[in-house]
Amino acid sequence: MTTRIDQRFAQLKAEGRAGLVTFLMAGDPDLGTSLEILKSLPAAGADVIEVGMPFTDPMADGPAIQAAGLRALKAGTTLKKTLALVESFRALDRTTPIVLMGYYNPIYVYGVERFLQAAKQAGVDGLIVVDLPPEEDDELCLPARAAGLNFIRLATPTTDDRRLPKVLENTSGFVYYVSLTGITGAALADYSGVEAAVTRIKRHTNLPIAVGFGVKTAEGASQVARAADGVVVGTALVNALKETLDAENRAAPQTVAAVSELVTALAGAAHGARGAGDGRRARPSWLRRIFGRIAP
């Protein structure tokens, strides 16, 4: 089985560069705007797109992504509408990998077999379900892989060499290395341990390693991309979106551009980190105000 995820990381490897993996919540701040943002991401430089499935009890998410999920739920986003969102995107883009990320409860309520059929039909390529451990692979992981979907697992700084083989046993697509313990949104102040962590994980697998949690700026993306196969950014994009909303959390004319311009800055940094071109593009002034100095 070769998926769009496998093909994209093979392409990135051949080009000698790291990829940018972007996360945004489906339906934030509304389904129409969410679709327009998704459509803008590939041209802005996103190599893989993670789409959050809104859930009422997101235990691993920080305040920004929790708020994004609540905005999406308030706007009427359901799992069925999330799949429809992906299907609408896929009608216009046949190559960019899409990963659904979230929690098992909505999938269980939807029905595993029904969900997997609908996800495959919509054009989903992989799943990240953060609250299903490897011991529960029969529940969703193995059926997902049988359906032709990658099942992507998280490794953390506390996943030691004894635990890693179990975590990686049925993982496919890529390994998502969580660069710090805790919830999403915290800043990663020290990137020095990323290379050692990636090297350690690669001793156990040939899969690409994407690093996330704590990457907020293009400068940070560049540092991570020197060691990892992919850089995952979520909270910074969610914050860029939130900064444009009005007092009632409605989208503004600049909402789509706010996200896509930040993605362009991050992609330029990630893609250029290994000398495959410096990736320099104009950085809008509002980005500098919100995130500080943005360097490639």
DSSP of the chain? ---HHHHHHHHHHHHT--EEEEEEETTSS-HHHHHHHHHHHHHHT-SEEEEE---S--TT--HHHHHHHHHHHHTT--HHHHHHHHHHHHTT-SSS-EEEEE-HHHHHHH-HHHHHHHHHHHT--EEEETT--GGGTTTTHHHHHHTT-EE--EE-TT--TTTHHHHHTT--S-EEEE-SSS-TT------HHHHHHHHHHHTT--S-EEEESS--SHHHHHHHHTT-SEEEE-HHHHHHHHHT--TT----TTHHHHHHHHHHHHHHHHHHTTSS--------HHHHHHH-----
In a domain, 296, yes or no: no
Distance CA 66, CA 85 (A): 20
Q: Residue 101 domain-assigned?
A: yes
Q: Nearest 5°: phi and psi at 288?
A: -65, -35
Cβ atoms within 10 Å, residue 274: 15
Residue 180's pLDDT is 67
- Catalytic one among 30, 47, 61, 261? 61
- Whether 61 is a known active-site residue: answer yes
Strand arrangement of the beta sheet that strand 209-212 belongs to = 150-151, 126-129, 98-102, 48-52, 19-25, 230-233, 209-212, 175-178, 154-155
Structural domains of the chain, count: 1
What is the per-residue pLDDT for 290? 39
As averages over each run of 10 residues, the pLDDT of the chain (296 residues) reads 95 96 98 98 98 90 93 98 98 98 97 98 97 96 98 94 95 92 52 88 97 89 94 96 97 98 97 61 39 37
Q: Does residue 57 contact residue 69 with C-beta atoms inside 8 Å?
A: no
Domain enclosing residue 249, as ranges: 4-291
CB distance 244 to 255 below 8 Å: yes
- Within a domain: 114: yes
pLDDT at 275: 67
pLDDT at residue 83, rounded to an integer? 98
Tokens coding 41: 């991401």
CA distances from 50 to 47, 66, 270 (A): 10, 16, 17
- Check residue 190 and give its pLDDT: 62
Cα-based angle 37, 212, 137 (whole degrees, multiple of 5): 95
Does 117 map to a domain? yes
pLDDT at position 87 is 98
Which of the residues 30, 50, 125, 219 is marked catalytic? 50
pLDDT of residue 59: 79
**What predicted TM-score, i.e. pTM, was given to this entire model?**
0.90
Instruction: Confirm whether 234 is domain-assigned.
Output: yes
85: domain CATH number is 3.20.20.70
